[in-house]
């Protein structure tokens, strides 16, 4: 005798309750992990980070390193932090400015997760600029960045993921490609903060090619909700410098550019 359709349906429903569902990469989960990183920077301890037990990578200034010996090995007084979330790549970007401690830092950090599981961290990738880094002055950087508005952009006005990536790539291509800057629309009041050097409007004094090397090792975090793309890279056009470039777009035009270069 064959089981009835109702019995089969009940059995399948019961089975579905027992089958674990795949984790979902959420904005909330990404920002929670980013906040745990901020807490670790403040404490100078990694105990609160849920690091993958296998295949975890810590990278500092474009080189694999021991997380216990890097910038996370010392507590930092944080003056400003800001995070973005990329649910497609299941990654986040966090900028931290510590200007008042014995050793000032500006950190640009991407955190990545295995699959869709934001409860586990598989990669911490940091550009750590400090005294001696290119155009470094944490107090000036703090002054410029804390005056900016990185609030959420209304849904109908957000730039697309494709546009954000294209603009980020075009910006980094300007040193090797004479026409790259022409593919970018610049806002009239666009601000550029390179380390601690301030330029407004940021569409003036742009590079127009000249380098034989393009900037490589690009890693992306894209957050359409705040119009942001962050790219960690090797700034090969100037000599393989560890670098972060973040852009914010408003109304399809570049509003802010922020760089952290070692």
Q: Encode pLDDT of 112-138 as tens digits.
A: 999 999 999 999 999 999 999 999 999
Q: DSSP states of the chain as a string?
A: -PPPHHHHHHHHHHHHHHSPPPP---HHHHHHHHHHHHHHHHHT--TT--B-SSS-EEEETTEE--GGGSGGGS----SEEEEEEETTTTEEEEEEEE-SSSS-EEEEEEEE-STT-TTSB-EEEEEEEETTSTT--HHHHHHHHTTS--PPPPGGGPPPHHHHHHHHHHHHHTTT-TTGGGGS-EEEEEEEEETTEEESSTTSS------SS--EEEEEEEEGGGTEEEEEEEEGGGSSEEEEEEEEEETTEEEEEEEEE-
What pTM value is reported for the model?
0.90
- What's the mean pLDDT when you consider all of the chain? 92
| pLDDT surpasses 50 at 105 | yes
pLDDT digits (tens, 9 = 90+) for 210-258: 888 999 999 999 999 999 999 999 999 989 999 999 999 999 999 999 9
């Amino acid at each position: 005798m064959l089981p009835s359709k109702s019995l089969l349906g009940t059995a399948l429903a019961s089975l579905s309750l027992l089958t674990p569902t795949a984790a979902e990469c959420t904005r909330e989960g990404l920002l929670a992990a980013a906040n745990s990183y901020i807490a670790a920077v403040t404490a100078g301890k990694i105990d609160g980070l849920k690091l993958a037990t296998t295949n975890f990578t810590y990278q500092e200034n474009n080189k694999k390193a021991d997380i216990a010996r890097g910038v996370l090995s010392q507590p930092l007084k944080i003056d400003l932090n800001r995070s973005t979330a990329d649910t497609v790549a299941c990654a986040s970007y966090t900028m931290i400015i510590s200007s008042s401690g014995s050793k000032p830092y500006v950190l640009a950090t991407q955190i990545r997760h295995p699959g869709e599981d934001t409860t586990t961290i598989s990669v911490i990738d940091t550009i750590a600029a400090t005294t001696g880094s290119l155009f470094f002055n944490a107090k000036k950087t703090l002054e410029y960045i804390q005056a900016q508005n990185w609030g959420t952009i209304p849904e109908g006005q957000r730039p697309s993921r494709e546009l954000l990536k294209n603009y980020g790539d075009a910006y980094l291509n300007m040193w090797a490609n004479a026409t790259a800057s022409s593919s970018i629309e610049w806002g009239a009041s666009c601000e550029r903060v390179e380390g601690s050097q301030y330029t407004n409007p940021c569409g003036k004094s742009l590079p127009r090619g000249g380098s034989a090397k393009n900037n490589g090792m690009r890693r992306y975090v894209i957050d359409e909700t705040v119009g942001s793309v962050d790219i960690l890279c090797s700034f090969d056009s100037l000599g393989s410098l560890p670098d972060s470039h973040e852009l914010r777009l408003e109304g399809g035009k570049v509003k802010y550019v922020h760089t952290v270069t070692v």
